[in-house]
Chain A
Amino acid sequence: MNKPLKQHLIDPEICIRCHACVEACPKEAITFNDDNVVVDVAICDGQMACIGPCPTGAIDNWRVVATPYSLEEQLEWMELPEQQEIAADQGEADSEALDDAIAALLAEAHQGAGGVARAPASAAKPTVNLHGLENPLKARVQGNFRLTAAGSDNDVRHIILDLGPGHFPILEGQTIGIIPPGEDAQGRPHMPRLYSVSSPRDGERPSTNNLSLTVKRVQGGVCSNYVCDLGRGDEVLVTGPYGATFLLPDDPEARLVMICTGTGSAPFRAFTMRRQRVMPTVNGRMKLFFGARSPNSLPYFGPLGKVPQEFLEKHFAFSRVDGAEKTYVQDRLRQDGEALAAMLGDARTHIYLCGLKAMERGVEEAFNDIARASGLNWAEIRDRMREEGRYHVETY
């Protein structure tokens, strides 16, 4: 039997036949007639050079198929076929989550890396999709603590979920889904919302079967308000784990540059705690660039202060402190430019970016400038690092 495969397709109802994808594909896998633009499954190698140039999003469609749709079929389509039922025994090795919607969300979050994301070579093998929509894990709230100062209008919570006897193996950098109760405007049950875990693989304290999340209350947000209002003992439906690339290298030689804003700090808390547990004496190999409006609204500001600077070199950037100039993470990156430039040339360096999409551009520009100042080409370095599993972006 054919192993099911994820086929790249173009939605003919949304596509406007601008042929930007045709030009972009280095493999010449995309062809067209007067009506449709189509991808040749025999040539497409999934490097996604076509995704960025598409002005409509028509290019970003996938179907898991046992037998791929032929070019002739696709050229005749007036609309995309529905996803057929596939015996879901096993997905592809590198698929981050079989569920289409979740896969799409993760793909979007990882888009900023500029190409197909890969896991660090020395990362532990992740488990994904253990619990789907049909069989979510029932977890219980063990704690709900406010992380930001009471006076700050930024309400960020540290939520600890007890997984009970449940089997839920999770790695630092992975994501879980939480299904908020109730229905959406169309009367359908809510889809899960994704949150990065902020605890290491063996729990908040070693050998506890629990995990923690860092959740910001968003005005009007269905799930964030639900989670932020949870009380001790409440039951929560959890799906996942998800994500197979934004992971921590196990190699103690690896140098980490972690850049985040707000709740984007979650995976980096997990990374730091993991390293504190398994390699507590390895100094000088982690840098954290962390942006927030003010110290009051920076999650984990207190605990972070207790991590020795030799173990984790911290660079905070505050954009709203009275009397001080606005500073963003990219400004701190530039200030540390010389050290960073040296790291860019080091094959042991891993760069992680997590937080709001809006930070991507500033960070890109900063690395561009840092690289150029040292006669390096950032785009090339970034692409190489990404291909080697050393450049990771998760933004939303």
Chain B
Amino acid sequence: MSDTINVSYDTQIPNNVGLSSDRRVLKALEKWHPGYLDWWKGQGPDGFQESLVYLRTAVSVDPKGWAKFDYVRMPEYRWGILLAPQVEGRIIPCGEHYGEPAWQEVPGEYRSMLRRLVVIQGDTEPASVEQQRFLGKTAPSLYDMRNLFQVNVEEARHLWAMVYILQKYFGRDGREESAELLQRRSGSDEKPRMLGAFNEETPDWLSFFMFTYFTDRDGKMQLESLAQSGFDPLSRTCRFMLTEEAHHMFVGETGVGRTIQKTCERMREAGIDDPTDIGRVRDLGVIDLPTIQKKLNLHYTLSLDLFGSEVSTNAANAFNAGIKGRYRENKIDDDHRLRDATYPVSEFTDGKIVVKEVPALTAINMRLRDDYSRDALGGVKRWNAIIKKHGFDFELTLPHEGFHRQIGTYTGAPITPEGEVITPEEWAARRDEWLPSKEDGDFIASLMKPCWEAGKYADWIAPPRVGIDNKPGDFEYVQLHMA
């Protein structure tokens, strides 16, 4: 009997999928492994490969004890393949096959659609590692540095998760796609990553926190909908990935929150009542709230683009085929086929925003994006609570869905964060009011000085309220090894 809860270590690749008795896939993965390690050493965190990092490693899919913390050199991290346990009698949760037993093999008719979904998801995982590879050098604390590396090794494990699906179920195509995943590079001109937001730079730590809050949350929603796939191995893979993904949201939400906290504390100490007095606030060596709003605007809108066009036949096909569901599909109370349902979608035509009811089947992306926006609002409320607690009259907001968009009905539309349609000239002239300017970037960059003494934090960010793994405040989360 194979043990599907605990990880076995009888092959080089820790797994709970019985890899040792699956010679073909084991061989394919062993062949892929050296290239992966080369990629990690070349594109992973720059300058810290020898440091000992206090990381959690997934050792089981049993939620009671799924991870263990220990000091690890990142190249020796035990990237493994973990699938959530198979649910007895699971059915295809949506689309025209609704109610039939979930597929344990790739359904031939949907093979290429499924492959493309897996490849796109897989492509985002290494991309974010590449985007963040230089951040360690300006880490505001060892605590934050550890969190960055934790996010990095887990995104890399998510690459493994997708590569396993490709190698196991897609034969030769899968092997080729797996190789390609190691060849594309974030921001490259010749071979860029597949999605726009994953080719943007992550120049500073506030961007990193915004990225993990907003962009990883897109990842969460995509994983949530793939966890609702009728193709059971994909569903099980994604369900376990979500367990890890939660930490990434945490890094983002608390990172932004701690930045705001420090700004508010310093303003209070200095007797500043007006948070928009940017010059005075910046003189304190903290990031002013209006600039934080601009960063938020940028990352939120880039992330909205990741959901694709509001009305999409691809998304409708994937839903109909039962290979990608809606957020919490199994908890939704409807026919799960969307035969007659409609869904409201905004459209930008003739310079006006109009809301139309469209067939819900074609509005799958839009619905997921709405779920995302609701989910994203939660953290913004918490951030505002910090500002309010310090007695400042300032509120962070999510900008209008039409602001600063490159994909979908609003592409290039001159719409303000409040949702007002203006002329393209005015929009261009006012751009720097809403989005980070070069000067804003330079200022933030000037604060990015490393602070690597255990228990100490850079001056622009507050310490966390609790340590990772309940460790005390002065815990040495990374034992640096400087060659």
Chain A residues packing against B (C-beta within 8 Å): 13-14, 16-18, 20, 23-24, 34-35, 48-57, 60, 78, 104, 108, 111-112, 114-115, 357-358, 360-361, 364-365, 368-369, 372, 375, 377-379
- Kindly identify which residue among B6, B68, B375, B466 contacts A360, using a CB–CB cutoff of 8 Å: B68
A357 near B466: Cβ-Cβ < 8 Å: no
A16 near B250: Cβ-Cβ < 8 Å: yes
B1 near A49: Cβ-Cβ < 8 Å: no
| Chain A proximity mask over B232-247: 1 for CB below 8 Å, otherwise 0 | 0000000000110111
Q: Chain A residues near B64: list those with CB within 8 A.
A: 48-49, 51-52, 114-115
Q: Closest approach, in angstroms, between the C-beta of B146 and any C-beta of chain A?
A: 13
B242 near A20: Cβ-Cβ < 8 Å: yes
Q: Closest approach, in angstroms, between the C-beta of B83 and any C-beta of chain A?
A: 15
> Which of B285-293, B348-356, B376-384, B430-438 sits within the interface?
B376-384
B379 near A16: Cβ-Cβ < 8 Å: yes
B6 near A52: Cβ-Cβ < 8 Å: no
Q: With an 8 A cutoff between CB atoms, is B186 at the interface?
A: no
Q: With an 8 A cutoff between CB atoms, is B98 at the interface?
A: no
A53 near B6: Cβ-Cβ < 8 Å: no
A358 near B70: Cβ-Cβ < 8 Å: yes
Q: With an 8 A cutoff between CB atoms, is B63 at the interface?
A: yes
Closest to A359 in B: B70
Docked complex: B7-23 residues within 8 A CB-CB of A: 7-10
The distance in angstroms between the C-alpha atoms of A377 and B4, with both chains bound, is 10
Interface majority SS on A: helix, strand, loop or mixed? loop
- Kindly identify which residue among B68, B243, B245 contacts A361, using a CB–CB cutoff of 8 Å: B68
11 A-B pairs (CB sep. < 8 Å): A13-B382, A13-B465, A14-B465, A17-B378, A20-B246, A34-B377, A54-B246, A108-B470, A361-B68, A364-B68, A378-B3
Q: Chain A residues near B10: list those with CB within 8 A.
A: 369
Q: With an 8 A cutoff between CB atoms, is B39 at the interface?
A: no
Rank and list the top 9 A-B pairs by shortest CB-CB distance, nearest first.
A18-B246, A55-B247, A114-B65, A24-B63, A55-B246, A361-B68, A53-B63, A55-B250, A16-B250
Q: Chain A residues near B62: list those with CB within 8 A.
A: 114, 379
The distance in angstroms between the C-alpha atoms of A371 and B250, with both chains bound, is 36
Q: With an 8 A cutoff between CB atoms, is B128 at the interface?
A: no
Q: What 13 additional pairs, Cβ within 8 angstroms, besides A13-B465, A17-B378, A114-B62?
A: A13-B382, A18-B249, A20-B63, A20-B246, A34-B378, A49-B63, A55-B246, A60-B470, A108-B470, A364-B6, A368-B8, A378-B3, A379-B6
The distance in angstroms between the C-alpha atoms of A74 and B300, with both chains bound, is 29
Q: With an 8 A cutoff between CB atoms, is B5 at the interface?
A: yes
Q: Chain A residues near B66: list those with CB within 8 A.
A: 52-53
- Kindly identify which residue among A108, A361, A369 contacts B59, using a CB–CB cutoff of 8 Å: A361
Q: With an 8 A cutoff between CB atoms, is B218 at the interface?
A: no
Q: With an 8 A cutoff between CB atoms, is B177 at the interface?
A: no
Q: Closest approach, in angstroms, between the C-beta of B119 and any C-beta of chain A?
A: 26
Q: With an 8 A cutoff between CB atoms, is B396 at the interface?
A: no
Q: Closest approach, in angstroms, between the C-beta of A330 and any C-beta of chain B?
A: 11
Q: With an 8 A cutoff between CB atoms, is B69 at the interface?
A: yes
B250 near A18: Cβ-Cβ < 8 Å: yes
B3 near A14: Cβ-Cβ < 8 Å: no
Q: Closest approach, in angstroms, between the C-beta of B71 and any C-beta of chain A?
A: 7
Docked complex: B340-386 residues within 8 A CB-CB of A: 374-375, 377-379, 381-382, 385
The distance in angstroms between the C-alpha atoms of A104 and B472, with both chains bound, is 13
The distance in angstroms between the C-alpha atoms of A357 and B70, with both chains bound, is 8
Q: With an 8 A cutoff between CB atoms, is B401 at the interface?
A: no
- Kindly identify which residue among A52, A57, A379 contacts B470, using a CB–CB cutoff of 8 Å: A57
Chain B residues packing against A (C-beta within 8 Å): 1, 3, 5-10, 57, 59-60, 62-71, 220, 242-243, 245-247, 249-250, 253-254, 374-375, 377-379, 381-382, 385, 465-466, 470
Closest to B252 in A: A16
Q: Chain A residues near B250: list those with CB within 8 A.
A: 16, 18, 55-56
A35 near B381: Cβ-Cβ < 8 Å: yes
Closest to A111 in B: B65
Closest to B379 in A: A16
The distance in angstroms between the C-alpha atoms of A369 and B11, with both chains bound, is 12
B249 near A16: Cβ-Cβ < 8 Å: yes
Q: Chain B residues near A375: list those with CB within 8 A.
A: 1
- Kindly identify which residue among B8, B71, B245 contacts A358, using a CB–CB cutoff of 8 Å: B71
Q: Chain B residues near A357: list those with CB within 8 A.
A: 68-70
Q: Closest approach, in angstroms, between the C-beta of B385 and any C-beta of chain A?
A: 6
The distance in angstroms between the C-alpha atoms of A372 and B1, with both chains bound, is 9
The distance in angstroms between the C-alpha atoms of A295 and B398, with both chains bound, is 62
The distance in angstroms between the C-alpha atoms of A54 and B242, with both chains bound, is 12
Q: Closest approach, in angstroms, between the C-beta of B384 and any C-beta of chain A?
A: 11
Q: Chain B residues near A104: list those with CB within 8 A.
A: 470
Q: Closest approach, in angstroms, between the C-beta of A78 and any C-beta of chain B?
A: 6
Q: Chain B residues near A23: list those with CB within 8 A.
A: 63
The distance in angstroms between the C-alpha atoms of A34 and B382, with both chains bound, is 12
Q: Chain B residues near A358: list those with CB within 8 A.
A: 70-71
Closest to B242 in A: A20
Q: Chain A residues near B245: list those with CB within 8 A.
A: 18
Q: Chain A residues near B381: list those with CB within 8 A.
A: 35
Q: Chain A residues near B63: list those with CB within 8 A.
A: 20, 23-24, 49-50, 52-53
The distance in angstroms between the C-alpha atoms of A20 and B63, with both chains bound, is 9
A361 near B70: Cβ-Cβ < 8 Å: yes
Q: Which residue, of B3, B5, B245, has the highest number of chain A Cβ atoms within 10 A? A: B3
Q: Closest approach, in angstroms, between the C-beta of B468 and any C-beta of chain A?
A: 8
Q: Chain B residues near A52: list those with CB within 8 A.
A: 63-67
The distance in angstroms between the C-alpha atoms of A317 and B72, with both chains bound, is 22
Q: Which residue, of A13, A53, A104, A108, has the highest number of chain B Cβ atoms within 10 A? A: A53
Q: Closest approach, in angstroms, between the C-beta of B320 and any C-beta of chain A?
A: 27
Q: Chain A residues near B378: list those with CB within 8 A.
A: 16-17, 34-35
Q: Closest approach, in angstroms, between the C-beta of B59 and any C-beta of chain A?
A: 6
Closest to B68 in A: A361
Q: Chain B residues near A53: list those with CB within 8 A.
A: 63, 66, 243, 246
The distance in angstroms between the C-alpha atoms of A112 and B351, with both chains bound, is 61
Closest to B389 in A: A78
B60 near A379: Cβ-Cβ < 8 Å: yes
Q: Chain B residues near A20: list those with CB within 8 A.
A: 63, 242-243, 246
Q: Closest approach, in angstroms, between the C-beta of A262 and any C-beta of chain B?
A: 16
Q: Which residue, of B9, B67, B246, has the highest number of chain A Cβ atoms within 10 A? A: B246
- Kindly identify which residue among A14, A54, A365, A378 contacts B9, using a CB–CB cutoff of 8 Å: A365
Closest to B382 in A: A13
Q: Closest approach, in angstroms, between the C-beta of B328 and any C-beta of chain A?
A: 9
A364 near B382: Cβ-Cβ < 8 Å: no
Q: Closest approach, in angstroms, between the C-beta of A191 and any C-beta of chain B?
A: 11
Q: Closest approach, in angstroms, between the C-beta of A17 and any C-beta of chain B?
A: 5
Q: Closest approach, in angstroms, between the C-beta of B90 and any C-beta of chain A?
A: 15
Q: Chain A residues near B249: list those with CB within 8 A.
A: 16, 18, 55
Q: Chain A residues near B8: list those with CB within 8 A.
A: 368-369, 372
Closest to A18 in B: B246
Q: Which residue, of B64, B69, B247, B382, has the highest number of chain A Cβ atoms within 10 A? A: B64
A16 near B465: Cβ-Cβ < 8 Å: no
Q: Chain B residues near A115: list those with CB within 8 A.
A: 64-65
Q: Closest approach, in angstroms, between the C-beta of A345 and any C-beta of chain B?
A: 15
A379 near B5: Cβ-Cβ < 8 Å: yes
Closest to A104 in B: B470
Q: Closest approach, in angstroms, between the C-beta of B231 and any C-beta of chain A?
A: 20
Closest to A377 in B: B3
The distance in angstroms between the C-alpha atoms of A97 and B348, with both chains bound, is 63
Q: Closest approach, in angstroms, between the C-beta of B171 and any C-beta of chain A?
A: 30
Closest to B69 in A: A357
Q: Chain B residues near A378: list those with CB within 8 A.
A: 3, 6
Q: Chain A residues near B375: list those with CB within 8 A.
A: 17
Q: Chain A residues near B243: list those with CB within 8 A.
A: 20, 53
